[in-house]
């Protein structure tokens, strides 16, 4: 099913080439070959080595008594043993590859493209600038990519950017769906927007809109007990401490236009840009020169 989903397939192909040879580049579901090789013993051995107390985080939010919750966890999971299992060892940060990949699939009417660059890890001090840069570039209908390429030019069916941070690395990527004949123009206009972020300081009004949008998303994302529970667990795993909403908002407000521009110059280097194009491409050719920004 995933192989028949163009949106998924272009992202999967991009990821496999961007982090070639590393676990981040492998499909989360596995492949037909690897899944077919699994035995009950393999699954149980992995489960036994990973689902252990030293690797677990328990998180809860809502109407509960903390001490009673801790007692219940200790009671229910005491059989696992305090020192069993293999501790998590963080591997070296993966290398990234600035490939240009053209994957031809004649059955597709629409061309899918994914363009990306390496970005800071999830706990980087620059993460708030990344959030704002992504918001300005392509997150939402007021973003530059959406307004310039979809609304003003009508060249794409969909276009957006997204930030994918991990423990030791990250990626900032752009997705677009268009036609084969419009693909070169979409790439050119995208490069223009990346270049503009590097060369021109973001206007204060645009930065304010991005900050307000980001802060609203943070607050709205904590409306339910389940989202608060997930947020507690993520922060414990990523940072080893809890950042309150007030702390996060203060960090967002501290980012200036100069910080966003400096980050754009750091990230959007032509030699670091990777591109995957999927679809009925005909004689489409994309050279490294097309990715100059």
Q: Which two three-digit tokens encode residue 64?
A: 């509960």
Question: CATH assignment of 97-291?
Answer: 3.30.830.10
Ramachandran assignment for 86, one of left (phi > 0), alpha (psi -120 to 50 degrees), beta (any other): beta
The CB density around residue 86, as the number of other CB atoms within 10 Å, is 12
Write out pLDDT tens, residues 175-190.
999 999 999 999 999 9
Using the predicted structure, report yes or no on whether residue 87 has a pLDDT greater than 80.
no
pLDDT at 79: 83
Using the predicted structure, report yes or no on whether residue 161 has a pLDDT greater than 80.
yes
pLDDT at 82: 65
Write out pLDDT tens, residues 242-254.
999 999 999 999 9
Using the predicted structure, report yes or no on whether residue 84 has a pLDDT greater than 70.
no
pLDDT at 54: 82
Confidence of residue 147 (pLDDT cuts 50, 70, 90): very high
pLDDT at 80: 80
Q: Which residues pair with 104 in a beta bridge?
A: 279
Q: For the chain, what are the domain ranges?
A: 97-291
What is the arithmetic mean of pLDDT over 140-144? 94
pLDDT at 282: 86
Average pLDDT, the chain: 93
The CB density around residue 106, as the number of other CB atoms within 10 Å, is 9
Confidence of residue 48 (pLDDT cuts 50, 70, 90): confident
pLDDT at 194: 98
Taking CA 27 as the corner, what is the angle to CA 24 and CA 31, rounded to the nearest 5 degrees?
Answer: 140
Using the predicted structure, report yes or no on whether residue 85 has a pLDDT greater than 90.
no
Write out pLDDT tens, residues 207-220.
999 999 999 999 89
Using the predicted structure, report yes or no on whether residue 285 has a pLDDT greater than 90.
no
Q: Are 240 and 256 in contact (CB under 8 A)?
A: no
- pLDDT over 70 percentage in the chain: 98
């Amino acid at each position: 099913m995933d192989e028949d989903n163009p949106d998924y397939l272009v992202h999967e192909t991009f990821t496999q080439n961007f982090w070639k040879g590393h676990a981040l580049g492998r499909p989360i579901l596995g492949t037909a070959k690897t899944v077919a090789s699994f035995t009950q013993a393999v699954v149980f051995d992995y489960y036994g080595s990973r689902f252990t107390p030293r690797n677990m985080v328990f998180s809860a939010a809502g109407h509960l008594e903390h001490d009673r919750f801790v007692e219940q966890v200790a009671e229910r999971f005491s059989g696992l043993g305090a020192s069993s299992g293999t501790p998590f060892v963080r591997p070296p940060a993966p290398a990234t590859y600035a490939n240009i990949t053209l994957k031809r699939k004649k059955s597709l009417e629409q061309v899918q493209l994914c363009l990306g660059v390496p970005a800071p890890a999830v706990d980087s001090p620059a993460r708030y600038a990344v959030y704002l840069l992504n918001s300005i570039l392509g997150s939402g209908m007021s973003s530059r990519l959406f307004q310039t390429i979809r609304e003003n030019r009508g060249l794409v069916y969909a276009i957006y950017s997204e930030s994918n941070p991990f423990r030791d690395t990250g990626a900032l990527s752009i997705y677009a769906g268009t036609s084969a004949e419009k693909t070169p123009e979409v790439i050119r206009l995208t490069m223009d927007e990346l270049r503009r972020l590097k060369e021109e300081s973001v206007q204060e009004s645009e930065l304010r809109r991005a900050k307000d949008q980001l802060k609203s998303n943070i607050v709205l994302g904590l409306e339910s007990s389940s989202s608060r529970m997930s947020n507690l667990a993520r922060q414990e795993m990523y940072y080893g401490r809890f950042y309150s909403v007030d702390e996060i908002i203060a960090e967002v407000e501290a980012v200036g236009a100069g910080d966003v521009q400096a980050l754009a110059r750091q990230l959007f280097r032509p030699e670091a840009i990777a591109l995957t194009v999927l679809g009925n491409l005909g004689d489409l050719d994309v050279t490294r020169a097309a990715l100059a920004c």
